[in-house]
Chains A and B, each alone.
Chain A
Amino acid sequence: MIIEIEFLVPIKEDRFAGNGELHPFDRWQWLEKEMYIRFKGWTRAPMAYNGVYEDEDTKEMVSDESRKYIVAIEKEKEGEVKKMLEEIAIEFRQKSIYMSVAGKVIFIKGVKKHGKQK
């Protein structure tokens, strides 16, 4: 069974997990290359997504702009996407990454990997 997964990557670092600034271009290059190699069917929505959410730590409302990715994969490979989102959260200095599977929303927290090679 093929499922569709959507996830959002904010264009700025989280203020607490990072410095709140735009990402350097090589992070986006890393993500694009990983997506290209790992997933056959994926697309990036050709527009920015603006959203407002409540920061889980400060309880403040935060607005951000994100890039939206849509991946079509076999159901059994869902774990592979989640694993990648754990890496993305670290690489893009986010507390968590918004992911939606068939309308169900999950926030994936970053998992650090020691000795990562690019």
Chain B
Amino acid sequence: MENRNNGLKEPLKYRTLNGEVISLNSSSEVEKRFIRHMITLYLKKPYWDKFANYWLNRIGKVYNGKSRKDIAETVSFKICQDLESRLGILHDKTRMSDYRDQLSEIVDVRYGSRYYFCRKFHVDEGYLSNVLNKKRHISINSLSRILNKAGYELDIREKTKEKQLCEIALK
């Protein structure tokens, strides 16, 4: 499962919706076969729940003897979750994350409440609520300033193309 470019071996990679790059170079033949099979199935665009139940029922056999905790950290698990998410997005059952979701995750879940977050970092609570509820826009400068105070930063990443998935499936 390697691409050849000008005689040089290029590692075959899978890029998730989150921008995480997963190298398949050190994957076993069993893993590669499973991933190829799941990508081939994904390309037929089945319903997301059907796809989810299918891979979840089979992944244990690929990693026979491993604990569920360990299996949940494998490349196959990550890739199958990513493929399932793509189907969910395709069928309008879920959506891509945007900066508001990530900000909301930091504010509401990691800091526990908007009130606590806003007091700690001197942000107007009404303004933040309006931004998170899509009632107001926030400039990149303001967003960077808030994130910086909370110990986070903005990031730009490349989108994954469907063509790349087809290439992996066909290798």
Q: Which residues of A come within 8 Å of B, CB atoms?
A: 11, 19, 21-29, 32-33, 36-37, 40, 43-48, 67, 90-91, 93, 112-116
Contacts and interface: CB of A to CB of B under 8 A. Distances in A.
Q: Which 5 A-B pairs have the closest CB atoms?
A: A25-B85, A24-B97, A114-B112, A24-B101, A25-B94
Contacts of A116: 109-110
B49 A46 contact: yes
For A27, A37, A44, A45, the residue with the greatest tally of chain B CB atoms inside 10 Å of its CB is A37
B163 interface: no
Nearest to B70: A37
Interface of B: 17-18, 47, 49-50, 52-53, 56, 68-69, 71-72, 77, 81, 84-85, 88-89, 92-98, 101, 108-113, 132-134
The B interface, classified by DSSP as helix, strand, loop or mixed, is: helix
Given A28-B88, A37-B68, A112 B97 contact: no
The A interface, classified by DSSP as helix, strand, loop or mixed, is: mixed
Contacts of A43: 53
A37 B49 CA distance: 19
B68 A25 contact: no
B164 to A, nearest CB: 18
Contacts of B98: 24
A112 B113 contact: yes
B56 A36 contact: yes
A90 B42 CA distance: 31
A32 B84 CA distance: 11
Contacts of A36: 56, 68, 71-72, 77
Contacts of A112: 112-113
